[in-house]
Structure 1
Amino acid sequence: MTPVISVLLFIVGILLALIGLAASIALHEVGHLVPAKLFKVRVPQYMIGFGPTLWSKRIGETEYGLKAIPLGGYISMIGMFPPKHRGEAPRDGGTGFLNTMIEEARSASNESIEPHEVDRTFYNLPVWKRLVIMAGGPLMNLVLAVILFLIVFSGFGIFQSTTTVDALAQCVVAQNQQDEVDASTCSTPSPAVAAGMQPGDEIVAIDGRTVTGWPDVSATIAASAGVPLEITVLRGGAETTLTVTPAVNTVYQRDEFTNQILEDDAGNPLTKEVGFVGFYVTQERQQMPPAYALEFTGRYIGQVGQIIISMPERVVDMWNAGFMGAERDPNGPMSVVGVGRITGEVAAEQSIPVGDRAATIIMLLASLNVALGVMNLIPLPPLDGGHIAAAIVDGLRRMFAKLFRRPPPGYFDTAKLIPVTMVVSVLLMAMTALFVYVDLVNPVRFLE
């Protein structure tokens, strides 16, 4: 293919990322919109993006539209903030600015409420309904992620090891020493080389027992360090038996998703000693059962959660990668720009089959939805998790009042969280700007 076609494919990949992001945001807001409508809350606006409105159309009592900056979305519900408690005096002095900001937000939330619509306000809903509405967005992203993972795992399939030899290792090198040893100069050949194993050999039996697949072969070899094995291979249509004695080798311990298992304290990879023969096998796509998508999503949610918990440290790493010349962590966070760039690289890589490119792009979009869903559950306003936390606090206040036979408390005044909302918003915008900059000057190279 010509360079022009590669550039066009790169652009197509970026467009796919943008479309996927917009669709994910739109569905996230649908996750809020549908329960809000079911609970009779009036929703004046459903918008994708921020800034100037590019297009809008009113359907019923809701205006649906697109805005210029496609980096988010929102639905507006009447009564997001409750009215001021009776008898509450306005703040003054050094808190005048904050008080003005709080009251302006409260007024904007309540100015369009007609007297007959008080029962349709968000603040007037039972706690459980508020929780359903605010959790609907993140839940929609996680459901979408499961669907996308399901398409890849059960549709395209994932690469699994076969029992056919692809290449041989020339010598035995521990995984935690691979950067220190030159395999081309080793004096002792690997057991596979010493036994005469060849690329293309298909392992059919070990010690006369028919193997059931690569996990069977791998487990048998790993448990047989120093024990001679009679490995029967199919070579050129005929069976050949080779005597192989697995050497003792140190390897990283991995979970069912091939991720390295780390020590609890130091964070270093755990290793173990196993039998080692020294050959690599071919990889083929195999379809997985639907339960695998659910299990993988759960595991990935945990990984995203760990990234969020360590975000201050990762922000420092991103700063160093952008301004101090530090190496970029390929497993670290990235912005939408980084995701778009990777999607473009995958789409333009002509050496990868079209099906594999499509599966990779779908995986990226699924991962993006997990990140959107988990990020929005952080219990800080303006994120959905902040509204969820406020509803839970309100519910606990009412529960304890009822438990101790006290009068029902007034509405939990979420408007007073506006200063926190502003601080969090500024921090999120600053972090986004940093990540975008680093993705431009020091991007993750997905195909390297």
Structure 2
Amino acid sequence: MLVVIGIVIFFFGLLFSIAWHELGHLAAAKLFGIKVTQYMVGFGRTIWSRKKGETEYGVKLIPFGGYIRMIGMFPPKKDEKYGTTRSSSPFRAMVEDARQMSAEEITPEDAHRQFYQRSPWKRVVVMMAGPVMNLILAIGIFAAILMGHGLYTPTTTVASVSECVLPADAPNKDVCPPGAKQAPAAEAGFRPGDRIVEFNGKPYTTWADLQLAIRQSTGPVPVVVERDGQRVTLTPNLMQNQMPKLNSPSEYETVGFLGLSPTQVLAKQDVGGVVSTIGGFVSLTAQKVIELPQRVPDLVSAIFGGERHQDSPVGIVGASRLGGEVLSSDEISVDGRIMLMFNLLAGVNLSLFVFNMLPLLPLDGGHIAGALWESIRRGFAKLVRRPDPGPFDTARLMPLAYAISLVFIAYSLLVLVADVVNPVKLF
């Protein structure tokens, strides 16, 4: 029951994130006098709708996104009104169809309220407003958690000591197979509760710095620990072992291995800590979005029974399932489950921001790139005293936009199948 409740709660959280995104576009468009005929959450068949003023608000059957419909997204052909003549070329026909659809709802009284007629900076604001709303929501959730609840932060105090050396891809990390080599930390006499104060002659106060030093070391290394109020020097013989990369757990590298895990404490963050942490989240999210094409082989492998990594891409089905897993888990406290669910929702919104800012049509970033290019082109023409080249015709890019859309749909279906047959598991 908790799994189902968690899935439903997180699913509606995702729908809210989509609606919140489109609300940004809607508000900015209306602010600049652009006529918006539809505000929809979802795609396909309309389940519910209501018209208020000039805009129809509604919910559609397929909850995998949303949109607002603005009139005049594409300019007419140069020196002529919207044409109805259809070309025999399939690519030119795509352009003409897009231009015609853009012109369908334009009436004489609305002729001055078209999207393409607005100055480039206003169009940039309209298209950025959606992703920025997701960013604002993500920052708000992260800030509330980091400043109000706190962030579990690893310390230099030892929580547990590994008994033996196991490769990163070992199927069972809790059992030492016969003949396994003793871990350097266990061999040197480390104990849970030891606080590491010096490593190889240098003092350390944060786990991040200490972990980096451990991974870069090999051979005998003097380590000073504080134990029962006294300082004790231990000399583990560090070895090389296969470990997950720090910023990419699904990839491995050979690094120095000590064989211990740190104690984690719940620490509330100040404004500086929040800014730094969220900045790291944005950077990591951007990296993961860029790496999406590289994840295709892993997704295909996961569908046919291979390992599904925790940092594997997930869709709305997989993300909702994670919400159910978190809420039903007995491995963390109730408040921890709630915080983790909000963290997941904030992460989704951060991903929506980064993904939609990619300079590709039909994404928001594609329209932003078109408006910026128009501004540069007009500025250059003015500088060299040439005639105004007019609005940049993004309709000509529609064949490319359709191709990119097909790629996105295929990728989404791949992720959907993987989410169903081999979902990502946190615990």
Alignment TM class, shorter chain as reference: 0.7 to 0.9
C-alpha distance in 2 between matches for 1:161 and 1:230: 18
Match of 1:3? none
What residue number does 1:408 align with? 388
Where structure 1 has 5 or more consecutive residues not aligned to the other structure, the ranges are 1-7
Match of 1:39 in 2: 32
Q: Which moved more, 1:99-108 or 1:63-72?
A: 99-108
- The answer to whether the Cα contact below 8 Å between 1:225 and 1:248 also exists between their aligned partners in 2 is yes
Q: Percent identity?
A: 37
Distance 2:92 2:21 in 1: 32
Report if the CA contact (8 A) 1:91-1:99 is conserved: no
Q: Secondary structure at the match of 2:36?
A: coil
Stretch moving more, 283-292 or 350-359: 283-292
Please report how far the alpha carbon of residue 132 of structure 1 lies from its aligned counterpart in structure 2 after TM superposition: 0.8
- Aligned amino acid, residue 58 of structure 2: G
Deviation at 1:376, TM superposition (A): 1.2
CA–CA separation in structure 2 for the residues paired with 1:302 and 1:92:
46
Of residues 271, 283, 288 in structure 2, which corresponds to 1:290? 271
Q: 1:240 to 1:67 in 2, by over 3 A?
A: same
Q: Which residue is equivalent to 1:313? A: 294
* Cα separation, 2, equivalents of 1:373 and 1:217: 30
Alpha-carbon distance in structure 1 between the residues aligned to 2:107 and 2:196:
77
RMSD: 3.7
- Is the Cα–Cα contact under 8 Å of residues 188 and 236 in structure 2 kept in the other structure? no
Deviation digits for residues 74-109 of structure 1 (CA, Å, limit 9, x no counterpart): 1111211112222598876641x4444433432332
The match for 1:303 is: 284
Per the normalisation by structure 2, the TM-score is 0.83
**Could you say which structure has the larger radius of gyration?**
1
Task: State the partner residue of 2:138.
Answer: 145
1:54 touches 1:65 (CA, 8 Å); kept in 2? yes
Q: Structure 1-normalised TM-score?
A: 0.80
Q: Is the contact made by 1:205 and 1:233 (CA closer than 8 Å) also made in structure 2?
A: no
Partner of 2:253: 269
Asked if 1:259 is matched to 2:233, the reply is no
Say whether the 8 Å CA contact 1:175–1:252 is kept in structure 2: yes
Matching residue's letter, 2:111: V
Are 1:154 and 2:142 matched, yes or no? no
Q: Secondary structure at the match of 1:445?
A: coil
Contact 1:155 1:287 in 2 (8 A): yes
Which residue does the alignment assign to 1:4?
Answer: none
Please state whether the residue corresponding to 1:409 is helix, strand or coil.
coil
Counterpart for residue 17 of structure 1: 10
Rate the CA distance shift 1:252–1:22 in 2: closer, same or farther, 3 A.
Answer: same
> Which residue of 2 is the match for residue 245 of structure 1?
235
Letter in 2 for 1:414: T
Corresponding letter in the other structure for 2:235: T
Q: How far apart are residue 140 of structure 1 and its match?
A: 1.5
* Mapped contact 1:253–1:260 kept (Cα < 8 A): no
8 Å contact kept, 2:135–2:349: yes
1:49 aligned residue (42, 52, 58): 42
Match of residue 112, structure 2, among 94, 99, 119: 119
Q: CA deviation at 1:241?
A: 5.4
Rounded Cα–Cα distance in structure 2 between residues aligned with 1:220 and 1:86: 63
Alpha-carbon distance, 1:28 to partner: 0.8
Match of 1:233 in 2: 227
How many angstroms apart in 2 are the aligned matches of 1:163 and 1:93?
70
Separation of aligned partners in 2, 1:106 and 1:289? 51
Post-superposition Cα deviations, 1:341-390, rounded to whole Å, max 9, x if no partner, equal 11111111123211111121111111111221121122222111111121
Q: 327, 349, 362: which is aligned to 1:347?
A: 327
- Please say if residues 29 and 36 of structure 2, whose CA atoms lie closer than 8 Å, have aligned partners that are also in contact: yes
The number of aligned residues is 419
Conserved? CA contact 1:20–1:365, under 8 Å: yes
Aligned partners of 1:204 and 1:233 also within 8 Å? no
Residues in 2 aligned to 1:50 and 1:370: alpha-carbon distance in whole angstroms? 22
User: 244-253 vs 353-362, which deviates more?
Assistant: 244-253
Q: Distance in 2 between matches of 1:281 and 1:126?
A: 55
**Is 1:431 the equivalent of 2:406?**
no
> C-alpha displacement at 1:426, in angstroms?
2.3
CA distance in 2, matches of 1:221, 1:302: 23
SS in structure 1 of the partner of residue 43 of structure 2: strand
